[in-house]
Amino acid sequence: MSRIENVLYTGKTRTTGGRDGESRSSDGRLAIKLSPPGTAGEGTNPEQLLAAGWSACFIGAMGLAARAQHVALPKDTEVNTEVDLGTAGDQYFLQARLNVSLPGLDREVAQSLVDTAHRTCPYSKALHGNIDIVTTLV
């Protein structure tokens, strides 16, 4: 495991009530209600939050890869991330799919950006080997 040598940012939240609660960031920029997945609750859920954060990070990692390859990342780049919460026996697990759209890029170049991002995105690195992950260039 690699250790951080220089902390760039620390996200701080306070969550109360678990999946039926709320979460707020220390800087006041995030204030969300939480509800269990698949319920009629008002809020979002941890799986959606993971998908949103991971998608944003993955696009950033593709942008870095694109600059290194002297390629412009398309303005309409999209990452549609699906995070499943499921069970095996009596234990809970996650699995994920990242469906990446890089319109206008040569397929080989686009696949190279996806592959590089999956190796370098901090979310992907944290989850690699811990959950099933499929990345697909669409």
pLDDT tens profile 3-42? 999 999 999 999 999 999 999 999 999 999 999 998 888 8
Which residues are CB-contacts of 123 (< 8 A; sequence separation ≥ 6)?
Answer: 50, 53, 54, 57, 58
Determine phi and psi for 88, rounding to 5 degrees.
-135, 110
* Cα(33)–Cα(38) distance, integer angstroms: 15
* Cα(6)–Cα(8) distance, integer angstroms: 6
Q: Does pTM surpass 0.85? A: yes
- Tokens for 25? 């960031």
Res 38: pLDDT = 87
What pLDDT, in 10s, does the model give residues 46-70? 999 999 999 999 999 999 999 999 9
* Cα(121)–Cα(81) distance, integer angstroms: 14
- Kindly state the helix (H) or strand (E) to which residue 122 belongs, with its residue range: helix 122-127
Quick check: 33 and 42 in contact, CB under 8 A? yes
The dihedral through the CA atoms of 128, 138, 78, 76 has a sign that is positive
Q: What are the structural domains of the chain?
A: 1-44 (2.20.25.10), 46-137 (3.30.300.20)
- Kindly state the helix (H) or strand (E) to which residue 94 belongs, with its residue range: strand 91-101
